Structure 1
Amino acid sequence: MHTMWKGSIQFGMVHIPVKMYAATEKQSIPFRYLHKECQTPVKNVRYCPHCEKDVSWEEIIKGVEYEEGKFVLMDQEDLKALQPDNSKAIKILDFVQLEEIDPIYFDRTYFLGPADTGEHAYALLRSALEQTGKIGVAQITIRSKQSLAVVRVYEGCLVMETIFYPAEVRHVTHVPGVPASDTELPAKELKMAQQLIENLSTSFTPENYTDTYRQALQEAIEQKVAGKEVVEAKGNEPEKVVDLMEALKQSLEKTKTGKEKSKKKA
């Protein structure tokens, strides 16, 4: 596993040397843009419409558009002076309960492994987090970008998850048309909806869920490589039910049947 970052976890006067690894990876199939006429991959070009010519990286500067067509220029010296502390440390600021942080705040996950002679301190922090049920809220600077993060235990391994700052999470009031929380609903519909949720409730098993589109795409690619005709994937077309009550009834009937079959297999 490729080491992405080396540093330490710091809380109080304790320093735990760690190495950071990517915990997740995208499984999407990458597409390239090709020239239709000759199937050659096309290149991205930096082009200045005013000078009407291609521009090299050496001629590029950074700017922030504060009004339409007006920019504040920021050179490397300006940016360097503003860079946050890059001390290669995951600085734990507070310890909180995981349940206190809504999932909307979570961004990316990284595994943390002990580095050098940090195994004992690593195991100590892991055990302390497990026994107290707490997670650490921290700050870290990666590639000159300061991020808020949490440090917690996942299957015996310390993990760091970057989380959004409150200012980066949009307020729900910006979403148009959301019904009020105290909206009155027909008791019968509500009861049936609750029953449907109960019928579909189970324990979370990640292995039960697969990216069916990616699988179908991979199969289609393999068929094309093998020179075979691509067959359209067959799927169950959902029945169109306009009436909400009727939709609830049909859904309940299907989920009851599914539960009964599961009990018989068990």
Structure 2
Amino acid sequence: MAPRANWKGFLKVAELVCPVALYTAASTNERISFHMLNRATGHRLRREFIDSETGKPVERDDQVKGYETGKDDYIVLDPDEVAAAVPESDKTMDVEAFIACDEIDDLFFDKPYYLAPADRHAEEIFILIREGMKSRKVAALAETVLFRRVRTVLIRPHGDGLIATTLNYDYEVRSAEETFSEIPDIKLKGEMLELAEHIIKTKSGRFDPKTFDDRYDAALAEVVKAKIEGRKIKPQKQKAEGKVIDLMEALRQSAGKDGKPAKRSTKKTATRKPAASRQKAG
């Protein structure tokens, strides 16, 4: 079954216009999820907004948005007034510039989407744009209205299609200087740095997302499966805290006493796979 598009519109590069569709690239829908229940009755719970002073539930028609101007002082905005701030959309993803693929710090990356031709008639121009970007090794910065907000997106070639990643605004990205300002400037000794470089070299590898397991979600799946089958639920074993030792000694042990890589155990650690048949509780 073909995925459902989140958005349909036009990718515009100068005078080239290509009908495109946007699809979710990353989703948490496959994670184990729970419903809140009344322990006594087994019935599902529903959320209510409660007046903070009277303690009484407030019906939906009486709920309005408020902006706090002072302590317990608000201005009230009706739905029509809030809607007035929503920008008009012409469903166009207008490319403003092409930049080097590595020019944007990934701190600004928000959410990725797949971008594909919206219909068969758009395929030729879509491929033309994709191949042009590949040959020049560039990404595109475009602006459009997505989900009621004006968003800047970074568009990059990806396999047979394109990836459109929404970008965080500058004010949304916190300053690194504030976080790192108290890290002291320490001059490292030569042997320390050499050992660290040696350890990093011996641990070199490649990124393969298939090798990363969501152990918490897998454990939840096993708990749910055990509960359904009436088995006793065993708590996960906690890892013992690491022993604090001298930094130089830790480096030498990591690299091996003779400066060579320490021997790695051939014994494989057992990993629990998610249950074959995962059911949502509730």
TM-score by length of 1: 0.88
Q: 2:135 aligned with 1:131, yes or no? A: yes
Instruction: Choose the corresponding residue for 2:32, options 29, 32, 38.
Output: 29
Cα drift, residue 79 of structure 1: 2.9
Distance between the aligned counterparts of 2:219 and 2:8, measured in 1? Answer: 39
Instruction: Choose the corresponding residue for 2:165, options 135, 150, 161.
Output: 161
Q: Helix, strand or coil for the counterpart of 2:26? A: coil
Which is worse superposed, 74-83 or 187-196? 74-83
Q: 2:21 aligned with 1:19, yes or no? A: yes
Q: Helix, strand or coil for the counterpart of 1:19? A: strand
Distance between the aligned counterparts of 2:65 and 2:218, measured in 1? Answer: 41
Which is worse superposed, 101-110 or 34-43? 34-43
Distance between the aligned counterparts of 2:99 and 2:265, measured in 1? Answer: 39
> Which residue pairs with 1:264 in the alignment?
none
Which is worse superposed, 246-255 or 146-155? 246-255
Q: 2:119 aligned with 1:119, yes or no? A: no
> Which residue pairs with 1:57 in the alignment?
60
Q: Give per-residue Cα distances to partners, 1:205-251, cap 9 Å, x unaligned.
A: 22221112221221222111111112334566464233222222232
User: Whose relative contact order is higher, 1 or 2, with alpha carbons under 8 Å and at least 6 apart?
Assistant: 2
Instruction: Choose the corresponding residue for 1:47, options 34, 50, 53.
Output: 50
Q: 2:214 aligned with 1:211, yes or no? A: yes
- State the Cα RMSD in Å: 2.4
Q: Give per-residue Cα distances to partners, 1:84-141, cap 9 Å, x unaligned.
A: 2311121211111121111111111111121132111111111011111101111121
* Preserved CA contact (<8 Å) 2:253 2:262: no
> Which residue pairs with 2:152 in the alignment?
148
Cα drift, residue 6 of structure 1: 0.8
Alignment size in residue pairs: 260
> Which residue pairs with 1:243 in the alignment?
246
Cα drift, residue 51 of structure 1: 4.0
Q: Helix, strand or coil for the counterpart of 2:102? A: helix
Q: 2:234 aligned with 1:231, yes or no? A: yes
* Preserved CA contact (<8 Å) 2:152 2:166: yes
Distance between the aligned counterparts of 2:20 and 2:147, measured in 1? Answer: 17
Distance between the aligned counterparts of 1:248 and 1:201, measured in 2? Answer: 17
> Which residue pairs with 1:10 in the alignment?
12
Matched to 2:43, the amino acid is T
Percent identical pairs in the alignment equals: 27
Distance between the aligned counterparts of 2:52 and 2:190, measured in 1? Answer: 62
Instruction: Choose the corresponding residue for 1:198, options 196, 201, 205.
Output: 201
Cα drift, residue 260 of structure 1: 9.8
Distance 1:23 1:258, change over 3 A: same
Distance between the aligned counterparts of 1:16 and 1:9, measured in 2? Answer: 5
Distance between the aligned counterparts of 2:205 and 2:101, measured in 1? Answer: 22
* Preserved CA contact (<8 Å) 1:200 1:255: no
> Which residue pairs with 1:258 in the alignment?
264
Q: Where in structure 2 are the equivalents of 1:88-127 lying within 5 Å?
A: 88-116=91-119, 117-127=121-131
> Which residue pairs with 1:179 in the alignment?
183
Gaps of 5+ in 2: 268-282
Q: Helix, strand or coil for the counterpart of 1:120? A: helix
Kindly indicate which of the two structures has a greater share of residues assigned to helix: 1
Q: Give per-residue Cα distances to partners, 1:124-165, cap 9 Å, x unaligned.
A: 111011111101111121221122211111122111111101
Distance 1:259 1:51, change over 3 A: closer
Distance 1:19 1:237, change over 3 A: same
Gaps of 5+ in 1: 262-266
